[in-house]
Amino acid sequence: METMADRVRRVRENIAEAALRSGRRPEEICLVAASKTMGAEAVQEAIRAGVDAVGENRCQELTEKLAQGAYAGAPLHFIGHLQQNKLKYLVGKADLIQSVDGEALLRQIDRRAEALGIRQAVLLQVNIGREEQKSGVEPERLPELCALAGTLPHVRLEGLMAVPPVFDEREKYPYFEEMYQLFVDMRAKKYNNVCMNILSMGMSGDYPAAIRAGANMVRVGTAIFGARTYPPTV
């Protein structure tokens, strides 16, 4: 039977191939295990199998699994929809909050981090498909939000994240490429106090394509843990 270690190894092989094809070293790509609905044991198994970080979608689930020691040994990311009233459970707990999508959230994270005496690392989530039902900032608003993040002393903006529309495989590639272009543009602007280093995109069905387009962080769930047994509430 295929073990989780086998699956992580296969994902790593695919990552390496895609990285080399786009002129980068495999080690430059960060593999985040998207562990929503998975128990603490499974998360620990993924960490032992060598994933670089673990990403959770729901605050309550994160809090429960954190208490169970699920994330020991790996950085913890938050990748789900962010609500202002839940920030207190995340700031200072998550090493990277990937799903920040507005000015109010940035300011609240800054205040919360200041109270804790830390600097919170974040990514801005971009609604690259301009989908009404999806979180994320409109691409046009990125310059303003990057500049704002640079003025907040307790926030460290490290890059961009996206969840492109679910379409036929091939139709996602333009979104990945568009995201990479945005990432390059924002990096070129050299906002004070911002280190635009991370481009987080690509999931089980499309991470090689995302990497070939320029992603250096992928969030992979099903290909590591197997199918989720109950529908996640993202």
Ligand X SMILES: *Cc1c(COP(=O)(O)O)cnc(C)c1O
Question: Which of residues 66, 187, 204, 214 is near ligand X by CB under 6 A?
Answer: 204
Q: Identify the CA nearest to 53 among candidates 81, 72, 26, 66.
A: 72
CB of 215 to ligand X, least distance (A): 12
Q: How far is residue 209's CA from residue 2's CA, in Å, rounded to a whole number?
A: 25
Between the CA of residue 218 and those of 11, 52, 73, 92, 111, what are the distances in Å? 10, 10, 19, 22, 29
> Taking CB under 6 A as the rule, does residue 219 contact ligand X?
yes
Judged by beta carbon, residue 149 or residue 163, the one nearer ligand X is 163
Distance CA 152, CA 143 (A): 15
The total of other beta-carbon atoms located within 10 Å of residue 96's CB is 24
The answer to the question of residue 184 lying near ligand X (CB under 6 A) is no
Residues of span 60-79 touching ligand X by CB under 6 A = 79
> Least distance (Å) from ligand X to the CB of residue 59?
13
Among 113, 199, 203, 213, binds ligand X (CB under 6 A): 203
Distance CA 91, CA 233 (A): 21
To ligand X, the closest distance from the beta carbon of 218 in angstroms equals: 8
Say if strands 76-78 and 53-56 run parallel, antiparallel, or are unpaired. parallel
Range in contact with ligand X (rule: CB under 6 A) among 105-113, 114-122, 184-192, 221-229: 221-229
Whose CB is nearest to ligand X?
A: 221
Inter-CA distances, 116 with 53, 66, 88, 110, Å = 23, 18, 10, 10
Applying CB under 6 A, which part among 4-12, 66-74, 114-122, 219-227 lies near ligand X?
219-227
Q: Which pair of structure tokens corresponds to residue 96?
A: 């990277």
Task: Choose, by CB under 6 A, the member of 30, 54, 57, 62 that binds ligand X.
Answer: 57
Site for ligand X in 9-48 (CB under 6 A): 34, 36
Binding-site member from 148, 163, 186, 210 for ligand X (CB under 6 A): 163
Q: Which amino acid is at 146?
A: C
Contacts with ligand X, residue ranges (CB under 6 A): 34, 36, 57, 79, 163, 203-205, 219-223, 234
